[in-house]
Chain A
Amino acid sequence: MTSTWFGLEIAKRGTQVYRKAMDVTGHNISNTNTPGYSRQEAVISPSDPFTRPDYLTSMTPGQLGTGSDVKEVRRIRDYYLDVQMRDSNSFGGYWAKKLELAKQTEAVFLEPDGRGLQKTLLEFFNDWQNLNNSPQDPGVKKAVKETGDELATIFRQMYAQLSNIDKSVPGSLQYQVDQVNLITSRIADLSNTIINVKGNGGQPNDLMDQRDLLLDELATFGQITVNLQDNGGIEVRFIESPCLLVKSDANGKAITSKLSLITNAGKDGNENYLAVNGKAVTNLTVMAEYFNKAPEGAGKGSILAQESARLENLAVINQLDLLAKSIIERVNERSGLPGPAELTKPFSFFTGNGAADISLGEEVKNNPQVIIGENALSVAQLGNTPIRTLTGSADLRNGRKFDELSQTRFTVELPNGNKQEIDLYLDGGLALGERTFGEIKAAIQKALDHKFGKGEVSVGDDGLGHLAFTLNKGDGILKVDGVGSDKEGLAFLFGEPKSITVLGDTFENYFQGLVAQVGASSKHHDHMLENQQAIGQQIEALRQSVSGVNLDEELTKVIQYQYGYQACARMLSMQDEMLDYLINRIR
C-alpha cells in the first residue's frame, strides 16, 4: 500500500526532472558555438520502483513505478573520432608549416617573369656575345663587368635570403616547443581538477571538453598518443618519444615533463634534437630526413615539418651554391685564357667560393679593360654547354711511356662521394711501355666502367691532348687525385690534382631545374594541406554530428520538457484537488 502523498511525490519528482533537463538544454543552447563543446544530455530514467505483493501475483513481489529521475548528465562524444581528429591535426600542422616555409623559399626565386637569376644569367652571357662582336670596345667590357656584378649580387642576395630562412628555424622551433610546454601544463592542471571532481562523484564534462580541445591543439605540434585513466587522469606521449609529457605521479596526480630543444647537435653540429627533462630523446633531423623520403610521405606535426623544411631549404641553398661555384670556376677558366701580351696579366673574373661570397675580381672591378675580348666567344659559349666535364692539364697527344706501375694509378671521386682507386694496369688492362693517347683513353674508360659501372663516366679529350672526364649524371664536386705520396700517376696523366664542380646540365637548365623543384615543393605542400584540411573538415563534420549542438533539436526538447513540466504540474494540482476533496469535503 502506497502512502497518501505518493502521487504528489511522483509529480514533484517529475517537475524536478524536467527542470534539470531544461537546465541541461539551456546549457547546450548557450554553448552552441563554443569551440570543443560536446553537447550534454540529461539521462532521464524511471526511479527505482516499489516492490509489493499484488493481487494478481500473490506469490511474487509486484512492482510499482515511482516516477522519473535524472541519473546523470552525459557528455555525448566519440573517443574514436577524437583520435582521428588529432591525427588529422598532426598531418595538417605538418603540411601547413612546410607550406609556410616553402612559400618563403619560393619567394626568393623571382621567376618566371621577375628580374630573377635566369634573366641576369642570360644577359651575362649575351653581353659576352656582344663583347665577341666588339672585342676591344671599352663600353661593352664595362657592360660585361656590370652584368657580372649584378649576377654576383643576385647570387649573394638569394643566398642571404635563403640562409635567413635557415637561421629563423631554431627560433621558430623554440617558440613551438614553448607552446607545447604551455599546453601540457594546462592539460596537467585540468586533469588534476578533473581527478578531484571525479573523486567527489562529480561529472566534469566541461573540463574534459577543454582538455580535449587542448589535446587537439597539441596534436598540431606533433603526433601525440593519449592514454585516459579511469580516475580522470591522463598520459600523453609526444612524437613517438619513449618519455611521457603528461603522466601521473605516485599519488595519482598529473604532472608534466618539460620539452626542450637542443640545436647544433649531432656529430657535425647540424642536427636538432628534442629533449624531455633535459634528456635528448628525439633526433628531429634524422626523423625529418626519413619522412622526406618515406613511402608514407608525411610526418606529423609542425615541429617535424619545420625541421624537414629546413633540410629542404638547405638542399636548395646547396644547389644554388653549386651553381655559383661552377660559374666562378668555368668563367674564370675561359675568360682567363692567355690573351695578347699586354693583357696577359693573370686575373680572375669572379672571386669567392660560392653563392655566399661570389663577387667580381678586383682587377675587373677597377678596370674592366683587363677583360680579354678575344676570349669572349669561348665564355659566351659556356652558356650553352652542359657543365659536367673535368679536364686534365697534361698533354698526352703523343702518348706516354709507362715505366712503372705507379704511373698507372690515380683516384677518382664522384659527386656522390663514391671514391675509387683506378689502376690502369689491373682495371684497364694497360701494359707497361709506349702507349698511344687512344690506348690510354680506352684503358681509363675500361677501368672507370669497371669501378663505377658502365656509362657513369666517359673519357674523352679536349682536342688539345688533355684528358676530359664527362660525368653522366649528378651534381657536385668531381675530383681526381693521386695515389701514394708522390702522386706519380696523377702527374703523369693529369698534371696536377683536379677538382671541379659539375652540374650535369647547362647553368640555365640547372637553375630551371632548381626553380621547378622549389615550385613543385610549394605546390605539393599546398595540395597536401588542402587534402588534409578536407579530411579534417570531414572528421570535424562527423564529430559535430555526434557532439555538436543543434538549436532546433534543443528547442524541440525545450518544448518537450515544457510540456512535461506542465503535465507534472497539472498532476500536482490534480492530486491537490483529490486530497482537497478527501480532506475538506468529508466531514
Chain B
Amino acid sequence: MLRISTSLLGNNLRNYIQNNLQRAAKYQEQAATGKTINRPSDDPAQISYLMSVNGTLTRNEQYSRNIEDGLAYLNQSDSALNTLGKALQDAKILALDAANGTKSQQDREAIALQIDKQIDALVDLANSSLGGKYLFSGRKNAQPPFYRDPASGEVYYRGDTNLVSREIIFGYSYEVVAAGVADNYITSTVDLSQGVLLTDKDLKFRVALDENNVQEIDLGSCTPPLHPGLNKFEDIKKAMQQALDTAFGAGTIAVDDDAKGHIILKANNDAADFKVLASAGSTGHTTLFGGERTVVDGVFGKLASPSNPSNQISDPLNPGHPMTRVLGGPFKVLGDLVAALRNGEVQDSAAGVPCSYLTGSADMSGGKTFNTDDELKFEVALDGSPVKIDLKGYLPTGTLPVTMSFDDIKSVMQQALTDKFGSSISVDDDGKGNILLIANGNVTNFTVSADGTNTGYNVLFGGVSGGVHKGIPGKLPNPSAAGVAYNYITGSKYHPDNKVEFKTADDLIFDVVLNDPPKEVRKTIDLTDDLFAGSFSPGFKTMEEVKVALRKAVNDALQPDNLAITVDDDGEGHLRLTANNNVTNFKVLASGTPPGNGHNALFGGERTGVFEKSSGTSNPMQQLDDAIKNLEIAHDDVLKHRVGVGARTRHLQSVQDQLDDQEIKLKGILVELQGVDIAKLTVEIAQNQLVHNASLMTATDLLKTSLLNYLK
C-alpha cells in the first residue's frame, strides 16, 4: 500500500485542476469556432484529407465559374449561329426572288446591294462579343476579329485559330465555342495511344488535298514499312508521315497528335478540299481515323495560307500587323451571290474601264417591226442636255413598216449613236433580249428618255410615259475577257515565295493533252533545254523563269497543230495553264516515255482543265442557281455547328449538375471531419464542469480534514 503524503494531495489537486482547465479551454475553442480541427496538430491524420477536400471545393468553385462562363459563351454562340442561319435564309429568299425571270437587271442590282449589305451584317455578327470578349476570334479575343476591306470587299481575320476552352473538370478542358475560322486540320476520333492491332486491310486509305489531287496511302509500303500486328502509336505516326511525304511531297501534310492518342493531319491552308477517304477494299480510314473525315471548317470559313503575302493586308486597328484573308464560308457564298446577281451586267469587279450603263426592259430577242416614225425616236443624255435620236435615217430601207432582227436594231442604234456621240456609247445586249447601252468613261449623267410624245423610248427600252432609264456606274471589262469562257488548269502544288524547286531531272518532264480522240493532241513537254539550257542541276527557279520556259516549250510543241496555251500563275504561288474554251479534255498528265515527274513537281499531280467563266459570261442564271445551292449548303453547315454547340451546352450543364452534387457531398464530408457536434459538446462541457466541481470539493474537504482539528 502506498503511503500518501499531504503535499501529494495538494500536487494532485493542482494537476487535476490543470487537466480540467485544459479540457475546458479545448471545449471553449471548439464551441467558439464550431470546428474540431483548428490547427494541423488537432488531427494530423485527417489534416491533409481535410485540406484536399477544402482544395477540391475551392477548385470546384472555379470549375463552376468556368462552366458558367462557358455556358454564357455557348449561349451567345448559339444565338449568333441562329441569327447567321436567319441571315442566310433571308439572303436565299432575296436570291430566289432575284432569280425570277421577270426581274429587271436594275431590280437585281438592288437586291445585290441588299445582299452586299448583309455581308456587312454578317461581319458584325462574326464580331459578336460577350463581355468584351469576341466569340469567334480564338484566344486573341480582345478585338473584333473580322474586317471587311472596303476596297476589295474581301473579309480578313485578325484573331487566331486556337479555340477558347474551359477546364471544367480535373485535367479536362473543352472548347466552348464553334470555331470562327479553322486551319486545314483533320482530327481522328480513334484513341491510338496504346497502339493498335492492324491487319493488311488497315494499312491503306486515301488522302485528298482537292478533287484533282487524291493519293493512295499505303503504310505497308513506306520505309520502314508498317507490318500487320500490334503497332505502337509512334510507329504508326512515323510511317504515316513518310507515306504522306512520298505521296504529296515533303512538307505538304504534317502528322501530329492531340496528346490524347488522336492523329491530327495538318495541311497547308491552300488545300481546297482536304479529306481522308476510304480506299477500295481497305479499312484504314476507319481503323486509324474513325471513318472518312473532312476538315471541319469554322463557322465563317477558313484562313487562307498566311505564308502567301497576297492573302494578307495590314491591320487597320493594329498598324504593322497583318490580317489574313478568310476563304469559303457564308461570306464567300453571299459574295458569290452578289457576283451572280450582278453578272448579267457588263461589270467586272477585277479590272476594266469605268463606265455608266443602262439596260432596256423591252424584250426584242425575236426582232421587232416598226410601224411609225414615232417608234424610232427617243432622247439620250450624256453629261449634258438630251440629244434627240431618230433611227429613221439609218434604216436599211427607207420605208415603214420595217421588220428588223435584234442584231440589226443594235447595229442601227450603234450607227445613230456614233453619229451623235462619237465612240462614247456602245450598244450591246444583256443576253436576254434587252438593249444595253454602255457609256465609256466617267459619266455621271447618262439617261435615255422619251422624245416628247414619241414612243421610241417605250418600244426600244420598255420605258413608260414620263419615265427615264438612268445609267448605273460600273466597269467595262477588258475586251478580251468579256463574255469568254476559259479552260483553266490551276496547279495544286504551292510554290512558296514564287520559287519552284526542281529535285530531279524527271521534274522537268510531263505531258499535256488537248481534245478527245480522234482529234486528241498529246505532247510531252521537256523543260530541260528551256529552263536549264540542257544540263539539269537540282535547285530553285523563280516563277517567272519557269513561266517563260513553259510558254516557249508548250507553244513550240503545240504550234504544228495550230493550238496555243497561255501560261500564267494565279498570283498565289500556283501555276495556271489556260486553253481556249473550245478545247475539250484539257489535261496535264504524267509522261510515259520518257518517264516524268513534272506533273507532280509543277502542278501537284495529274490535273484536268476546268471550264471557268470570267464575269460577263452568257449564263448568269446558272451561276445564280449555283450560288443559291451553295447558300443552302452553307445554311446546313451553320446548323451543324449549332448542333455541336447544343451538345456541348448539354455536356457542360451535366458537369455543372455533377459539381453541384459534389459540393453538397464534400461539404457534408467537411462537416463530418471538422464540424462540432454541439449537443455532444454541451454534454461534455457540463460533465467536465461537474467533474471539476467534484474534484475541487473532494480535495478541499480532504485537505481541511486533519487531525489538527481534534487536537486540544
Contacts and interface: CB of A to CB of B under 8 A. Distances in A.
A126 interface: yes
B593 interface: no
Interface string A518-547: 111111101000000000010011101111
A341 B321 CA distance: 9
Contact of A129 (B66, B232, B259): B66
Contacts of B166: 132-133
B158 to A, nearest CB: 11
Contacts of B7: 32-33, 544, 548-549
B674 interface: yes
A396 to B, nearest CB: 10
Contacts of B238: 397-398, 436
Contacts of B66: 129, 132-133
B132 interface: yes
Q: Which of B51, B55, B165, B257 has the most CB of A within 10 A?
A: B51
Interface residues on chain B, size class: 35 or more
A1 B248 CA distance: 146
Contacts of A524: 44
Interface residues of A, number: 71
Nearest to B73: A133
Interface in B1-15: 2-8, 10-11, 15
A137 interface: yes
Contact of B35 (A33, A113, A340, A547): A113
A545 B4 contact: yes
Contacts of B41: 102-103, 106, 518-523, 526
Contacts of A263: none
A335 to B, nearest CB: 14
Interface string B29-59: 0000001011111111101101110110011
A549 B4 CA distance: 8
A438 B234 contact: yes
Given A463-B257, A542-B2, A552-B707, A522 B142 contact: no
A419 to B, nearest CB: 30
Contacts of A340: 140, 160
Interface stretch (A174-182, A212-220, A305-313, A505-513): A505-513
A129 B70 CA distance: 12
Interface in B64-105: 65-66, 69-70
Interface string B234-270: 1100100000000000000000010100000000000
Contacts of A63: none
B47 A135 contact: no
B251 to A, nearest CB: 14
Interface string B438-464: 000000000000000000000000000
> DSSP majority for the A interface?
helix
A522 B40 contact: yes
Contact of A122 (B8, B55, B171, B173): B55
Nearest to A520: B44
Interface string A194-218: 0000000000000000000000000
A315 B709 CA distance: 61
B707 A555 contact: yes
Interface in B668-697: 674
A523 B3 CA distance: 35
Determine which residue in A340, A515, A544, A549 has the highest number of CB atoms from chain B within 10 A of its CB, and name it.
A544
A384 B171 contact: yes
Closest 5 CB pairs of A and B: A548-B5, A519-B40, A520-B44, A136-B142, A522-B41
Interface of A: 32-33, 39, 102-103, 106, 109, 111-113, 118-119, 122-123, 126, 129-130, 132-137, 340-342, 373-374, 377, 380-381, 383-384, 397-398, 436-438, 463, 508-509, 512-513, 515-524, 526, 537, 540-542, 544-552, 555-556, 558-559
Given A377-B165, A384-B171, 14 more contacts: A106-B39, A135-B140, A135-B141, A136-B142, A374-B160, A508-B52, A512-B52, A515-B40, A521-B44, A523-B42, A540-B8, A544-B8, A548-B3, A559-B711
9 contacts: A106-B40, A122-B55, A132-B165, A383-B59, A463-B257, A509-B48, A515-B40, A548-B7, A550-B5
